[in-house]
A and B are shown apart, each in its own frame.
Chain A
Amino acid sequence: MKKTTPLYLLTDTFFDKKARFITGIVFGATESVLNAVLSGQLYRILIRFGENGAKGLIIKDFGVFLVELLVVETFAAVGVRLSLNAVSESDFLLRKSVISTLLRIPLKQWNRHGKGYWVNLLNRDIEMISEGKKKQIVDLFKTIVTIIGGMVIVAINSKEMAVFSILGGVLYFGTALAMKSTVRRVEKEQQSVVIHATDAISSMIDGFGDIKFYDMEPHFSEEHQKVIEQYGAAGKRYINMSMIQTMLKDFGYSFCYVGLLMMALWLTGQGKLILSDAMYLWPIAMQVCYCIQKMGFLIINLQKYTIAAERVSDLLDTQQEGETVREHSGIHVYEQTECLSVKNLSFRYPDEDRYTLDHVDLNVCSGEKVVIVGLSGSGKSTLFKLLLRLYTPDSGAVILNGISADQYSLNDLRSHFSYLPQHPFLFEGTIRDNLAVVSPEAEDEEMNNALRKAHLLSLDGHRGNLLDNNVGRGGTLVSGGERQRIGLSRCFLRDAPIYLMDEMTSALDAKIETELVKELFEQPDLTILYITHRLNAAIYADTIVVFDNGRIVQKGTHEDLIMHEGLYRKLWEQREVGLKSEREDTNEGVNYHACS
């Protein structure tokens, strides 16, 4: 069932690109067996020559030897290319599928880890898997083929040597396996410390301005030093572990080297082999022995890569968003009167004790303009996130056009909304690139229209065609207001019936803000939900919804709400009093803590 086990990730090349991969491996292994045979032959040629001294024989022997050599190395070159290319291709597929999985996991899963974790996973971990494949898996397969090939040659000549080379190899294999779990633990510990350190640095980079102006350098270098010390401590354990591991490995190797030579000479003494054959078999048997050892060693090293592969496979096995959507069998059709309604919606972020949304009910008619106000942190933005199903509500339902939102596929559901967050995401490229993501087939004309509608006529400090202006990496070349207007243009291009606008005006000038809101609200077809903390847009709204502490405390038009005692009036008066008091320069009259 679980297709993406760590081991699968490391061996997927074998399954996906079987033909090329295996050919590559066999070529490589042939080279490795024949290399051993060639070394053996060289000794045999010499000893045979030493025994009978015929010059013709040596020329023929060396001639054959050279031809063999050429063939072997051609095999090697082709083998490397084939198997590495197969790995490169499967790497490409893995990277692609990791990214597309990451893009599709629920936000809840996404937010479980910091940015450092994902950056590490997408770069270092996948790099590790790739290295693991190239260095470990390819080698492992090659080693296995080499062992079999070498064994056959040795066994034909001398069963005793064959048995001894297996025994020697297995001796080390055993000692290597004994270390497996310990090495794994130490490696994991070290890797996690490195992630901490990387996180520390990237948070320094992000908060550089604050660090510089608030003298935090000492504090941060101290924090970083602590992580480095942790790394040193983990390193000490690693040092000891690796020493023992090496000792075992070397002991095994020496045992085979000397043991096999003694064995070969003993067999010569017994008359079972002639000297030249004994010296021919010795390197081949050594190669078999060495390969069995190496196989054990490769398996140990595999742990290092498995840890990285585990994280990637965890991600790949995360259930994707929308996979739980039920079939359209039991669609419950609600009254068709409203276009969007929210029934008894509650939601709590993981790791938070308090409900961000607490039994919220809201009906929005088609074409209605709703302004949502409330203090910071009262759950306004979260409502949008639930409407878009970025998070799944804990209880209650969102009903869109009479059908419960969880009956829609995610793409279908989201295609009903044009969402404008506080900080729309821009990626490096021109404005055209940034608009084209939303609507790839839009003509320049359409794009220009959308920009005009968003009151973006030119970028500050840029010339030429507006669409060709570059926004810089992460949008650093545009101001906050320009960014939001590019985001708004995307909303226009998307042409979805319901607009969800979150604090659109926070970085806009008052002049543009008022015009934009008026223009938007004048369009009869659009349903607009507009979160704002400025009340000047509220007066144009059909309905004002007031949030407090995750609940809707008031609903109505500006005129209604202003007549009644309540949070809205308080907010409204607040700004009136504020305006007056500022003009009269008095600080009296209002206890601002009353509402916070």
Chain B
Amino acid sequence: MITKVLKRLELGKETALLVIFAVLSTAKDLGGVFALAYATDQIIYGGSMQKGLMLMLSVMMAGVVIASFEKRTHSVFAVRARGILYSIFCKKLLSADFSPEDVSNHHEWANIYSGDIPQMIRWFEQTYTGIIKLVSYLVGALVYSMYQSWLLTIIVIPLVGVLVLGISRISNGFKVHIDKERRAADEATKHLDQIIDAPEYIKAYSLEMAMDNRMEKVLRERMRAEKRGNTLRGIIGGVSGIASFLPGVFAGIVGSFFLIEGKITVGFLIAFIQMVMGRFQYAFPQIGDYLADTQSMKVLCKRFEQFMSCPEESTVDMDSSELFFEEPMIQFKHVSFGYEPSQYVLRDVSFSLNKTENLAIVGESGCGKSTILKLIMGYYRNQDSYSGDIMILGKELRQWPIKELRKLIAPVFQTNTLFDMTPENNVRLAAPSWSQREIEQVLDSAGVSRRLIGKSTGERGKSVSGGERQRIAIARAMAKQADIYIFDEITSALDTMTEKQLSENLNHMTKGKTSIMVSHRLDTIIGADNILYLENGEIKEQGTHEELLQINGAYASLYHKQKGGEL
């Protein structure tokens, strides 16, 4: 998993430099030890003390230079890698075959960006190079010691090996615990996100205390998980600490006998102990940390790779010869659909819609109106959750490349997101080639107030009212000049006058095009060519306004009720 992520980075040079400097930095450390041994021997066995100290001093100075460039390499890697991971995440998010529902259902994706990626980079910067340093130090120290006294080395080093294995086993138990801590933290974050969404409501209902209590429960759980972890951390730290001294003591005891025999010098023994212990004193506890870090890195990389391996949107071009333009624009043939098996939201829905027709879907809340729209927009086309056929221009929906399908459709949702830019620029996104005049015209005809022109709509369109946001969204849909217009309860946030004005504009703009409108206000759909009345996911009645009134069924009674309420 980790190598996969590394490959994605394509930072060959930077990664190589990381490795090179990790090795150089080890060489610097070992150089210091050799110099110490040399200097000590010079003193004890009566050589030139000055020579030894000069050697140490120059090794040290070289070390300073190496260390600063090493740090530089790290920073370069971190900054570049983070930028790259951010970019490829963003690219994937935009290019993968996700439906808007997938994205809003996967809250953890945003966490990958804001939490996981920085943590992954930290692993490369600290743990990855740390491991290289540790390994190269061990190799270097081993070669030097074998050269000085192979017997001493082969007596002492196996013990070190045993200790390393022992510690790595302990830290494996740590992994389960990291998951637990993480889960508790995720749970807390999830709750926080919900609270952040609704300050007004919480205040109006004085829910502050209730929210405090909810959060306290979650946070206390999180603290408990942390505390269990702390105990484990303490124990691992203590054991590693003892382990880090034992090789030194062992080396000291065995080495003393070699010293008496005159097989080694005092300088080498001190250097040997320093290598085995001095460095290990810090390195050994680190092994536990490295392993734990690597475990969580694997989890992070897995999550990242899972995200990255989501299928891409097909870029296959449409073979228009497969289309049958004389076929109806949209045709549902016995379509049934359920979010969960056996729980149907739509049941055996069939209708057909020609190129110049307007379809209206009405029915009570939750009767499946919006689901029909989502099906047409291709939200569920990757799942086996619908049965029957949805034909668009004579071609089954599942066979349509999603991009081509989207080109065909201009939807306006109940709530639309605008981006933090002027209304003109929001519209221009849908029609990049349009002139400022054309854009202003379309804004005008959607009824967008001139007051707003040139002003930013604020973060997610928050600075303009719901009605204006809707009008801008409608202007954007007009600018797209698509074949199928989809309107999902678009006038629910508008006042009567604007609603009226808008629905006329809509009539005008959808003339000669296919349009589908979901509404619970019957005024707006009277002129539709075909009206579906849905009840519990089934089509109860179907026909024009007049036809349905003649049947005098559910639609007619709803209509009369609304009229009655109004007059």
Q: Choose among A206, A246, A571 the residue that contacts B71 (Cβ–Cβ < 8 A).
A: A246
Q: Which residues of B contact A91 (CB under 8 A)?
A: 223, 226
Most B C-beta atoms less than 10 A away, residue of A39, A46, A510, A536: A510
Does B273 count as interface, using CB distance less than 8 angstroms? yes
Known contacts A39-B277, A427-B194, A536-B566; is-contact A221 B91 (Cβ 8 Å): yes
Within 8 A of B (CB), among A150-171: none
Q: Which residues of B contact A72 (CB under 8 A)?
A: 241
Contact assessment for B60 and A258 in the assembled complex, using a CB-CB cutoff below 8 Å:
yes
Q: Which residues of B contact A570 (CB under 8 A)?
A: 497
Residue-wise, chain B 403-417 has the 8 Å CB interface mask toward A (1 for contact) of 000100111011011
> Size band of the A side of the interface?
35 or more
Does B489 count as interface, using CB distance less than 8 angstroms? yes
Interface on chain A toward B: helix, strand, loop, or mixed SS? helix
State the Cβ distance, A487 to closest chain B Cβ, in Å.
8
Within 8 A of A (CB), among B470-508: 473, 476, 480, 489, 492-501, 504
Contact assessment for B205 and A208 in the assembled complex, using a CB-CB cutoff below 8 Å:
no
Q: Which residues of A contact B419 (CB under 8 A)?
A: 203, 207, 216
Contact assessment for B558 and A510 in the assembled complex, using a CB-CB cutoff below 8 Å:
yes
Q: Which residues of A contact B110 (CB under 8 A)?
A: 198, 201-202, 205
Q: Which residues of A contact B366 (CB under 8 A)?
A: 459-461, 478-479, 481-482
Contact assessment for A376 and B64 in the assembled complex, using a CB-CB cutoff below 8 Å:
no
Within 8 A of B (CB), among A183-238: 194, 197-217, 219-221, 224-225, 228-229, 231-232, 235-236, 238
Contact assessment for B417 and A203 in the assembled complex, using a CB-CB cutoff below 8 Å:
yes
Known contacts A42-B248, A438-B205, A479-B370; is-contact A250 B215 (Cβ 8 Å): no
Does B399 count as interface, using CB distance less than 8 angstroms? no
Residue of B nearest to A532 (CB): B495
Q: Which residues of A contact B496 (CB under 8 A)?
A: 533-535, 571, 574-575, 578
Q: Which residues of B contact A508 (CB under 8 A)?
A: 365, 520
Q: How far apart are the CA atoms of A461 and B346 in the complex, in Å?
A: 10
Within 8 A of B (CB), among A248-275: 250-251, 254, 257-258, 261-262, 265, 275
Residue-wise, chain B 69-103 has the 8 Å CB interface mask toward A (1 for contact) of 11110111011101100110111011100101001
Q: Which residues of A contact B193 (CB under 8 A)?
A: 119
State the Cβ distance, A32 to closest chain B Cβ, in Å.
10
Within 8 A of B (CB), among A459-518: 459-461, 463, 473-474, 476, 478-482, 490, 494, 503, 506-514
Q: Which residues of B contact A199 (CB under 8 A)?
A: 459
Contact assessment for B237 and A92 in the assembled complex, using a CB-CB cutoff below 8 Å:
no
Contact assessment for B411 and A88 in the assembled complex, using a CB-CB cutoff below 8 Å:
no
Q: How far apart are the CA atoms of A123 and B93 in the complex, in Å?
A: 22
Does A45 count as interface, using CB distance less than 8 angstroms? yes
Q: Which residues of A contact B79 (CB under 8 A)?
A: 231-232, 235-236, 238-239
Q: Which residues of A contact B281 (CB under 8 A)?
A: 35, 39
User: Which stretch in A7-15, A76-84, A334-342 binds the other chain?
Assistant: A76-84
Residue of A nearest to B546 (CB): A583
Q: Choose among B71, B216, B370, B411 the residue that contacts A242 (Cβ–Cβ < 8 A).
A: B71
Contact assessment for A107 and B467 in the assembled complex, using a CB-CB cutoff below 8 Å:
no
State the Cβ distance, B417 to closest chain A Cβ, in Å.
3
Q: Which residues of B contact A250 (CB under 8 A)?
A: 63-64, 67-68
Does A437 count as interface, using CB distance less than 8 angstroms? yes
Contact assessment for A258 and B498 in the assembled complex, using a CB-CB cutoff below 8 Å:
no
Known contacts A214-B429, A215-B430, A239-B76; is-contact A596 B237 (Cβ 8 Å): no
Give the total of B residues in contact with A, Cβ under 8 Å: 167
Q: Which residues of B contact A110 (CB under 8 A)?
A: 199
Does A566 count as interface, using CB distance less than 8 angstroms? no
Q: Which residues of B contact A344 (CB under 8 A)?
A: none
Contact assessment for A461 and B345 in the assembled complex, using a CB-CB cutoff below 8 Å:
yes
Within 8 A of A (CB), among B222-248: 222-223, 226-227, 230-231, 233-235, 237-239, 241-242, 245, 248
Q: How far apart are the CA atoms of A229 and B86 in the complex, in Å?
A: 11
Does B203 count as interface, using CB distance less than 8 angstroms? yes
Q: Which residues of A contact B132 (CB under 8 A)?
A: none
Most B C-beta atoms less than 10 A away, residue of A38, A214, A243: A214
Q: Choose among B191, B227, B521 the residue that contacts A85 (Cβ–Cβ < 8 A).
A: B227
Does A560 count as interface, using CB distance less than 8 angstroms? no
Within 8 A of B (CB), among A80-138: 80-81, 84-85, 88-89, 91-92, 95-96, 99-100, 102-104, 107, 110, 114-115, 118-120, 122-124
Contact assessment for A476 and B75 in the assembled complex, using a CB-CB cutoff below 8 Å:
no
Contact assessment for A208 and B210 in the assembled complex, using a CB-CB cutoff below 8 Å:
no
Does A70 count as interface, using CB distance less than 8 angstroms? yes
Q: How far apart are the CA atoms of A43 and B466 in the complex, in Å?
A: 78
Contact assessment for A596 and B449 in the assembled complex, using a CB-CB cutoff below 8 Å:
yes
Known contacts A42-B273, A205-B104, A535-B496; is-contact A254 B234 (Cβ 8 Å): no
Q: Choose among A73, A213, A478, A596 the residue that contacts B406 (Cβ–Cβ < 8 A).
A: A213
Contact assessment for A205 and B109 in the assembled complex, using a CB-CB cutoff below 8 Å:
yes
Does B468 count as interface, using CB distance less than 8 angstroms? yes
Does B211 count as interface, using CB distance less than 8 angstroms? yes
Does B550 count as interface, using CB distance less than 8 angstroms? no
Known contacts A376-B467, A461-B366; is-contact A414 B266 (Cβ 8 Å): no
Residue-wise, chain B 26-69 has the 8 Å CB interface mask toward A (1 for contact) of 00000010001001000110000100010011001101110111
Q: How far apart are the CA atoms of A229 and B499 in the complex, in Å?
A: 44
Q: Which residues of A contact B202 (CB under 8 A)?
A: 103, 425
Residue-wise, chain A 424-435 has the 8 Å CB interface mask toward B (1 for contact) of 110110000000
User: Which stretch in B2-10, B253-261, B324-332, B352-360 binds the other chain?
Assistant: B253-261
Q: How far apart are the CA atoms of A219 and B431 in the complex, in Å?
A: 12
Contact assessment for A96 and B411 in the assembled complex, using a CB-CB cutoff below 8 Å:
no
Known contacts A250-B67, A437-B210; is-contact A50 B205 (Cβ 8 Å): no
Q: Choose among A232, A463, A503, A511 the residue that contacts B558 (Cβ–Cβ < 8 A).
A: A511
Known contacts A201-B113, A243-B72; is-contact A510 B64 (Cβ 8 Å): no
Does A587 count as interface, using CB distance less than 8 angstroms? yes
Q: Choose among B53, B115, B494 the residue that contacts A533 (Cβ–Cβ < 8 A).
A: B494
Does A69 count as interface, using CB distance less than 8 angstroms? yes
User: Which stretch in A357-365, A393-401, A415-423 binds the other chain?
Assistant: A415-423
User: Which stretch in A58-66, A295-303, A324-332 binds the other chain?
Assistant: A58-66
Within 8 A of A (CB), among B98-134: 98, 100, 103-105, 107, 109-110, 113-115, 118
Q: How far apart are the CA atoms of A232 and B370 in the complex, in Å?
A: 44
Q: Which residues of A contact B255 (CB under 8 A)?
A: 46
Most B C-beta atoms less than 10 A away, residue of A69, A92, A463, A509: A509
State the Cβ distance, A510 to closest chain B Cβ, in Å.
4
Q: Choose among B190, B259, B521 the residue that contacts A510 (Cβ–Cβ < 8 A).
A: B521
Does A368 count as interface, using CB distance less than 8 angstroms? no
Residue of A nearest to B232 (CB): A81
Q: Which residues of A contact B78 (CB under 8 A)?
A: 235
Contact assessment for A503 and B493 in the assembled complex, using a CB-CB cutoff below 8 Å:
yes
Q: How far apart are the CA atoms of A501 and B258 in the complex, in Å?
A: 91
Contact assessment for A76 and B238 in the assembled complex, using a CB-CB cutoff below 8 Å:
yes
Contact assessment for B114 and A247 in the assembled complex, using a CB-CB cutoff below 8 Å:
no
Residue of B nearest to A257 (CB): B60
Q: Choose among A79, A88, A596 the residue that contacts B498 (Cβ–Cβ < 8 A).
A: A596
Known contacts A375-B498, A427-B194; is-contact A213 B411 (Cβ 8 Å): yes
Known contacts A209-B100, A375-B498; is-contact A410 B206 (Cβ 8 Å): yes
Contact assessment for B103 and A205 in the assembled complex, using a CB-CB cutoff below 8 Å:
yes
Contact assessment for A213 and B365 in the assembled complex, using a CB-CB cutoff below 8 Å:
no
Contact assessment for A107 and B56 in the assembled complex, using a CB-CB cutoff below 8 Å:
no
Contact assessment for A73 and B241 in the assembled complex, using a CB-CB cutoff below 8 Å:
yes
Q: Which residues of A contact B522 (CB under 8 A)?
A: 510
11 extra interface residue pairs, beta carbon distance < 8 Å, beyond A96-B216, A194-B118: A69-B249, A84-B234, A103-B203, A122-B189, A203-B419, A235-B83, A244-B68, A254-B64, A508-B520, A510-B522, A514-B564
Closest 10 CB pairs of A and B: A460-B366, A481-B365, A77-B238, A235-B79, A376-B467, A207-B417, A425-B198, A533-B495, A81-B234, A209-B100
8 contacts between A and B (CB under 8 A): A119-B196, A199-B459, A224-B86, A224-B90, A251-B64, A428-B194, A474-B197, A514-B562
